[in-house]
Structure 1
Amino acid sequence: MKFPLLDRLTPVLAVLVSTAALAEPVPAASYSAAGLPPAVASAAAGIDAERIRSHVRFLSHDLLEGRGTGSRGGDIAAEYLATQFALAGLKPAGDDGSFLQKVRFAGSQTLDSTSLSFVPGGGEALPLKLMDDYVVSNQSLTETARIDAPLVFVGYGIEAPEYQWDDYKGVDVRGKVVLVVVNEPPSTDPKFFKGEALTYYGRWTYKFEQAARKGAIGAVIVHRDDLASYPWSVVKSSWSNESVALADDPRQKLQAAAWLQLEVARLLLSLSGRDLDEAIRQAGTRDFKAFELPVRMNATINSRVRRFESSNVIAMLPGADKGAGRQALLYSAHYDHLGMVPDQAGDNIYNGAIDNATGCAVLLELARAYASMKASTGTLPPHPVLFAAVTAEEKGLLGSKYLGEHPPLPVSQIGLNLNFDSFAPFGVPESVKLLGSERLNFFPAVEKTAKAFRLAIEADSRPLAGSYYRSDHFSMARVGVPAFSVSLGDKFAGQTREWGQERAREYTARHYHQPSDEYRPDMDFTSSAEIARFGLALGWQALGASTPIAWLPGDEFEATRLKSERTP
């Protein structure tokens, strides 16, 4: 198989993918306590932090220009991943006997000539500055959208009958623009929007989807750092480049999908004689009623529209059952990042070293480790093992959404998805976060394996961030596949938990979705290697489970799973 995009990079690859001395494995007692057979323990012990370093260094190199979806750099990353899967001896599981699963996209880049203002009745227009005051994208994929429509404040913009909640009751928003608050109604009751943990109703993607379903032509989300769990700079960088959608998505789309900076929203409400903080407080109660503001939104949204392809990269190691068993295992990680901004002053490449070259490197080491079992001892996993590096995660989990809708095996035959996304290079981990694992009957095995690897399982330290709904495992959960992400906790060897929490806050504030998320030679990839070993052990436990892995009774994804199992 030829990979033409890599031809000119062969000298670079020869240096970056050199074989280094193996890192010290975790104690043999850990593998024994986890119940791993000798061949599996040997493969886990062979996972190497320096190989992970080589992959991260290449995938986050400036030559790949930030791995933007549908860009040359993104395509090079896909070819690189396919090459590594091939070198490991895995079988292609993409389209037409290849490793690549082509995904058709439509992209819309908002142009600087875009304008937006709020016009109060009888008053002067309040003009806004693109990127500083607001960001916007035209989801309808036309080159120009002109909007002159009234604004309706609909609180959190949620319709959730299971919680007896409807922000749209008693109001018709067809042909109008809705103003919504980021996140969801505050609660400490686990039976009401899952308490402090964010559900999908609080995700920005849901708010835009629901506004479109209600017939609105636009939706404007009010950003607040504490509720969103990230600063305006993250919104700005994430929306400064092209917005992307699946080309064949039949859902109704908004002409204006926008975010509004908090202080601008405060001024907007004051123009209407209202206080923003009080409006948000009321929106968190069942007594809230949507209301139309005496303000119109006037906007001309100019966009550059294109249609293109990008690829998921999928490989498979057949199982000993020689068929598509009902307990196939899927490992996943996204390889895309934010690309580059040509006109941006200074460093304009969003390299995405931690997010998510690290997850891809872990995926590649896992693939090599599994394949090494067969090569060295003839050991095959009990069931097929799939490895998927997906595209367009940063565009709204689109690559994994397509994968879930077009899986290489029927979803009923995929027993578990373990996803890997962003690993800080801080040394030896002593804790992990496995958000969503507690929703599965597999959780006792998760606890046993974590204990064997001397890893404490931490609860979500930022429940308002809605982490479960922000990474690619969610796309598989939506089609019923038991799924969760494997993440680092806050505790590292030789450091306090508070030290780890401070490093995480610093990364979010200074480097997350910024050009500074780039490879440095002093990075310590021991953490990624340990996570890979732990992920291998978790996967082997899932492959050998005596009963199929399932969602616990009453889970929001249980019904979808049961339906998929009834489908031939």
Structure 2
Amino acid sequence: MRRLVLSLAALTAAPALAQSGAPAISVDTLKDVTKTLSSDAFEGRAPTTPAEDKTVAYIVERMKAAGLKPGNGGSWFQDVPMVQMTAENITPMTFTGGKAPVSLAYRDDMVVSTYRVTPKVDIRNSDVVFVGYGINAPEKGWNDYAGVNVKGKTVVVLVNDPDWQTPTNQGLFEGKAMTYYGRWTYKYEEAAREGAAAVIIVHDTDPAAYGWGVVRSSWSGAQLELDEKGDHLDQSQAIGWMQLAKAKQVFASAGKDFDQLQTAAKVKGFKAVPLGVKFSVGFTNNIKRQASKNVIGILPGTEKPDETVIYSAHWDHLGHCTPVKGDDICNGALDNASGSAGLIALAEAQAKAGPAKRTMVFLSVTAEESGLLGSKYYAGHPIFPLAKTVGGVNMDGLNVIGPAKDFVVTGYGKSELEDLMKPLVEAQGRVMKPEPNPERGGYFRSDHFSFAKLGVPMFDGGSGEDLVDGGVAKGHAATLDYIENRYHKPQDEYDPNWNWMGAVQDLTLYYQLGRQLADTPAWPNWYKTAEFRAIRDRSRAGAGAGQ
């Protein structure tokens, strides 16, 4: 889940808001679907488990009832080939050769995994190099790997960008707004390109934007990756995280000052620092290859059925996870049973309004929590060509605390979809704003990013923190409560006292934007300054478009 949305029991649920040009969004549907998918009977909806079969069957049942048709040549499903790897027999991470050996215990101090489909990982006495933020960005004149050879070595990396503490969005790496260079996925990708044997990210709650509990839950147990040719053997042997306090111990043992080097890493021209210690870790992998499923329902277009508008939401969550007070099911009520409920509610509303000129696609994707795998696979193997995909809306968590005065856009300033959405937001008496916490990297943390990377504008936005009842103070407190106490934990459970009025407002906007895209000849593009503009232009030119 990318946008840490408001989540706290609040007012009693209110009736659906009717709005000009949009049928009412069913609150009953929102409640029923969220409650069902997040019940213990669905065991946290982990892909490739028996709970998946139950989950996708329920989604198909609701899509049929809403009036959708199967979206993949008569089938409701797109198989997504996956490989599941469960690390077992994990030895502690050890750093030796310094003043004193430092040992890190699995889960408490570190987590470790691999992208490689291999039965065993055994790294012994690998040289350790601190590479700062682990960024190689030629266009910015920044290369943390310059002048150092890390092939076969272990790199220790800081999370986020060098300028993440900047109070504004101005800076080489967009100030406090995280760029893709700040995401942990990028750190591993770049280290692999540099030939590193292992990559360990130092966890720090503020720049990571979530606590250690989130890392532990997400990285414990079975891990999924797309099952692709080559078994990902071009990736590093081991990837993982370690607690900040343990990182400081490692640096102290190496005779280095962690805080001093962390500060130095923020400055252009930083040079990687060999620590003079050796890294070891080992584990075996229980490997299981099987397909998961994306669910696809459509409302066929009447005039241009080959042109499509997409609504997307991920159905998966973490399944069984680290127990809290004896509860080991991460139910994922907000993340993302609520978004799945929104997808069904929109399908009902659009079907009730009748078919549009273009085809509407309702895409329920798998394995978002494992790295956007379902949407990544669809974008790479689209049922409907991306060159003829107009755009759409992604939903990852709905507002369940009540109406908000503001509407925040993730990745604000990137696409012309914002120009279409702004008057709709203003018609609700609300103000459209950039996301208040761009340092959390929300733009790269949900399924719209899989489409954006391949040029398709997908809108991602929702209620902000300025609540009608309680203002920013109450809204921000709710956000923090969710991040600290519920996000990726068993406490993300359905609450019958949630207030769905804010969700209905947002879904009404999604309805209107989707209907506008599907009923007009518009082809919204990225703004000229957006990093995805060039690929969209090439894609549209290849499709014979005039723009």
Query: How big is the shift at 1:112?
Result: 5.0
Decide which of 31, 35, 44 is 1:66's aligned counterpart: 44
Separation (CA, whole Å) in 2 of partners of 1:343 and 1:154: 35
Aligned to 2:302: 320
**Shift in Å, 1:293:** 1.1
Residue 120 of structure 1 deviates from its aligned partner by: 2.0
Aligned residue runs from structure 1 range 111-130, under 5 A: 111-121=88-98, 123-130=99-106
The reply on whether 1:26 has 2:44 as its aligned counterpart is no
Q: Give the CA deviation at 1:567.
A: 2.8
SS of the residue 2:349 aligns to: helix
C-alpha distance in 2 between matches for 1:113 and 1:466 = 30
Match of 1:98 among 70, 75, 87: 75
Query: C-alpha displacement at 1:23, in angstroms?
Result: 6.3
Instruction: Determine the C-alpha separation between the residues in 2 that align with 1:534 and 1:554.
Output: 26
Deviation at 1:124, TM superposition (A): 4.3
Q: Which residue of 112, 134, 138 maps to 1:157?
A: 134
Q: In the alignment, does 2:318 pair up with 1:338?
A: yes
Q: Select the residue among 309, 329, 333 that pairs with 1:349.
A: 329
Q: Which has the larger share of helix?
A: 1
Q: Residue 275 of structure 2 aligns with which residue?
A: 293
Aligned to 2:291: 309
User: 1:548 maps to which residue?
Assistant: 523
CA distance in 1, matches of 2:352, 2:406: 28
Matched residues in 2 for 1:493 and 1:264: separation? 44
Alignment of 1:69-468 (within 5 A): 69-94=47-72, 96-121=73-98, 123-148=99-124, 149-186=126-163, 187=166, 188=168, 190=170, 192-248=172-228, 250=230, 251=232, 252-325=234-307, 328-341=308-321, 346-374=326-354, 380-468=355-443
Q: Deviations over 1:355-378 (max 9, x none)?
A: 11000000000011111122xxxx
TM-score, L = length of structure 1: 0.89
For residues 528 and 399 of structure 2, the distance between their equivalents in structure 1, rounded to whole angstroms, comes to 35
CA deviation after TM superposition for structure 1 residue 142, in Å? 1.9
Q: Please name the residue that 1:485 is paired with.
A: 460
2:34–2:333 contact (8 Å) kept in structure 1:
yes
Give the drift of 1:93: 1.4
Which residue identity does 1:354 align to in structure 2?
L
Q: What displacement does 1:566 show?
A: 2.8
Residue 108 of structure 1 and its aligned partner are, at CA, apart by 1.5
**Counterpart Cα distance in 2 of 1:55 and 1:430:** 26
Counterpart residue type for residue 365 of structure 1 = A
Indicate conservation of the 8 Å contact 1:421/1:471, yes or no: yes
1:495 corresponding residue in structure 2: 470
Equivalents in 2 of 1:192, 1:382: separation in Å? 44
Letter in 2 for 1:109: T
Q: CA deviation at 1:439?
A: 1.4
- Cα deviation, residue 522, structure 1: 1.7
Q: Deviations over 1:74-120 (max 9, x none)?
A: 221111111111222212113x5211111011111122543321112
Which of 23, 35, 53 in structure 2 is aligned with 1:57? 35
How far apart are the structure 1 equivalents of 2:220 and 2:512? 40
- How has the CA–CA distance of structure 1 residues 189 and 520 changed in structure 2, closer, same or farther, with 3 Å as cutoff? closer
Output one character per residue of 1:331-352: Cα deviation in whole Å (capped at 9) or x when no partner: 0001100001498870000000
Q: Secondary structure at the residue paired with 1:438?
A: coil
Offset, 1:320: 2.2
What residue identity is the alignment partner of 1:26?
Answer: L
Distance 1:27 1:350, change over 3 A: closer
Deviation at 1:129, TM superposition (A): 0.6
Distance 1:212 1:249, change over 3 A: farther
- Cα 1:369–1:505 change in 2 (3 A) is same
Q: What is the RMSD of the two structures over their aligned residues, measured on CA atoms?
A: 1.9
Distance 2:18 2:58 in 1: 33
Q: Which amino acid aligns with 1:175?
A: G
Offset of 1:24 from its aligned partner? Answer: 3.8
For residues 34-68 of structure 1, give each alpha carbon's deviation from its aligned partner in whole angstroms, at most 9, with x where no partner exists: xx3xxxx2x2x2x1112110000100010110001
Percent of aligned positions that are identical: 36
What residue in structure 1 maps to residue 537 of structure 2? 562
> In 2, are the aligned partners of 1:138 and 1:301 still within 8 Å (CA)?
no
Q: Report the alpha carbon displacement of residue 214 of structure 1 after superposing the two structures with TM.
A: 1.1
What is the CA distance between 1:193 and its match in structure 2? 1.6
CA distance in structure 1 between the aligned counterparts of 2:94 and 2:520, rounded to whole angstroms: 58
Q: Relative to structure 1, is the Cα distance of residues 528 and 270 closer, same or farther in structure 2, using a 3 angstrom cutoff?
A: same
Q: CA deviation at 1:531?
A: 1.8
Question: Residue type of the partner of 2:121?
Answer: A
Secondary structure at the residue paired with 2:504? helix
Q: CA deviation at 1:287?
A: 2.3
For residues 207 and 115 of structure 1, the distance between their equivalents in structure 2, rounded to whole angstroms, comes to 22
CA distance in 2, matches of 1:249, 1:198: 32
Q: Deviations over 1:178-203 (max 9, x none)?
A: 11000111155636222221111111
| Equivalent position SS for 1:142 | coil
Q: Of 492, 515, 523, which aligns to 1:517?
A: 492
Q: Secondary structure at the match of 2:358?
A: coil
Contact 1:437 1:483 (8 Å CA) reproduced:
no
Gaps of 5+ in 1: 1-21, 375-379
Q: Offset of 1:552 from its aligned partner?
A: 0.7
Give CA deviations for 1:363-409 in whole Å, capped at 9, x if unaligned. Answer: 000011111122xxxxx212111110111000011111001111121
C-alpha distance in 1 between matches for 2:371 and 2:452: 15
**Number of aligned residues:** 525
